[in-house]
């Protein structure tokens, strides 16, 4: 398999002879946005954590840019559902901490200039000297996104980063994220439970099945289907339902989740 990110034969077991998922193989091209959807317990977050180097698979391999992933790296930026900001630091210092880790030889002036560029990118310049306790949930997630982009990773890993936000804030940040990804040509792998979010953001959508008992014994979960998104790349959430092909795509994914996600 070719690809900027290459996953080969990944499996993860917590109980003997009952892997949560097995034989998971897929690729991401450079600059591609891929979402993975599946019910709770199918192993989505475990896969993301393996890609991030935060967990180890029971078997299989992950390669990024020709090298095997063998632990955390600043080449992979991660944004979780919880913002994971340091509460005692301002927005500026939260992002500067990551930037200084990435480029320890940079001067303070250069770090600040870099931080300010990415804070402006997510629309938080007026809040740059505030601490997390002074920010709304949506603003905190914007800081997390700015921090991930600021280290200029080769790949961005998003684990339901908008799951705890209200619908209006979620829609606004989704549009912002899409705009930034287009501008930076970032490679993105994202977990979501929101079908419309996947349709809005992704070039491809991986549909993941759950492991389940069957009359012939236990069947492991895995990637059941890969769906290419045929909608125009220039799309916004508010206009999504007007696009030709939207309902067919949405119905196909919902049908999988309702009827076909248990193997």
Q: Residue 210: name the closest of 8, 37, 10 by CA.
A: 37
Is residue 178's pLDDT more than 90?
no
* pLDDT tens-digit readout, 225-234: 999 999 998 8
Q: Note whether residue 93 is domain-resident.
A: no
- Does the CA dihedral 22-26-32-38 come out positive or negative? negative
Band of pLDDT at residue 143, cut at 50, 70 and 90: very high
Is residue 80's pLDDT more than 80?
yes
Q: Note whether residue 132 is domain-resident.
A: no
Band of pLDDT at residue 168, cut at 50, 70 and 90: confident
Q: Note whether residue 175 is domain-resident.
A: no
Band of pLDDT at residue 109, cut at 50, 70 and 90: very high
Task: Sort strands 155-159 and 76-79 into parallel, antiparallel or unpaired.
Answer: parallel
- In whole angstroms, give the CA distance from residue 238 to residue 152: 29
- Say if residues 34 and 190 touch (Cβ distance below 8 Å): yes
Q: For the residues of 44-65, what is the DSSP string, one character each?
A: HHHHHHHHHTSS--SEEEEEET
- In whole angstroms, give the CA distance from residue 185 to residue 30: 8
Band of pLDDT at residue 207, cut at 50, 70 and 90: very high
Quote the pLDDT of residue 18.
Answer: 81
Q: Note whether residue 206 is domain-resident.
A: yes
The per-residue b/e assignment along 80-109, b for 16 or more CB within 10 angstroms, e otherwise, is bbebebeeeebbbebbbbbbbebeeeeeee
Domain range holding 3?
A: 1-73+191-263
For range 136-165, the mean pLDDT: 88
Is residue 73's pLDDT more than 70?
yes
CATH at 45: 3.40.50.300
173 versus 1: which is more confidently predicted?
173
Task: Sort strands 212-214 and 217-219 into parallel, antiparallel or unpaired.
Answer: antiparallel
Average pLDDT, the chain: 89
Number of domains in the chain: 1
The helix-helix angle for 137-150 and 91-102 (nearest 10°) equals: 20
- In whole angstroms, give the CA distance from residue 4 to residue 155: 9
Percent of the chain residues past pLDDT 70, beyond the cut:
98
Percent of the chain residues past pLDDT 90, beyond the cut:
56
For range 113-135, the mean pLDDT: 93
Is residue 15's pLDDT more than 80?
no
Q: Note whether residue 149 is domain-resident.
A: no
Band of pLDDT at residue 247, cut at 50, 70 and 90: very high
């Amino acid at each position: 398999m070719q690809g900027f990110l290459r996953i080969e034969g990944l499996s993860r077991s917590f109980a003997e002879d009952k892997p949560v998922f097995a034989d998971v193989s897929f690729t991401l091209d450079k600059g591609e946005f891929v979402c993975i959807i599946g019910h709770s317990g199918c192993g989505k977050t475990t896969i993301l954590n393996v890609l991030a180097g935060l967990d180890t698979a029971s078997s299989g391999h992950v390669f990024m840019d020709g090298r095997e992933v063998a632990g955390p790296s600043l080449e992979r930026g991660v944004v979780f559902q919880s913002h994971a900001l340091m509460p005692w630091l301002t927005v500026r210092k939260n992002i500067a901490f990551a930037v200084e880790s990435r480029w320890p030889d940079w001067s303070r002036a250069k770090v600040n200039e870099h931080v300010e560029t990415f804070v402006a990118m997510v629309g938080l310049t007026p809040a740059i000297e505030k601490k997390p306790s002074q920010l709304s949930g949506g603003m905190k997630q914007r800081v997390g996104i700015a921090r991930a982009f600021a280290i200029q990773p080769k790949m961005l890993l998003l684990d339901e980063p908008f799951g705890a936000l209200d619908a209006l804030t979620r829609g606004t940040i989704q549009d912002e994220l899409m705009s930034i990804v287009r501008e930076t040509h970032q490679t993105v792998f994202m977990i979501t439970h929101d079908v419309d979010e996947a349709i809005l953001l992704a070039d491809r959508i991986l549909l993941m099945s759950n492991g389940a008992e069957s009359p012939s014994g236990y069947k492991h979960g895995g990637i059941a289907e890969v769906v290419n998104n045929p909608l125009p790349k220039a799309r916004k959430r508010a206009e999504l339902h007007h696009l030709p092909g939207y309902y067919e795509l949405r119905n196909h994914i919902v049908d999988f989740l309702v009827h076909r996600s248990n193997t």
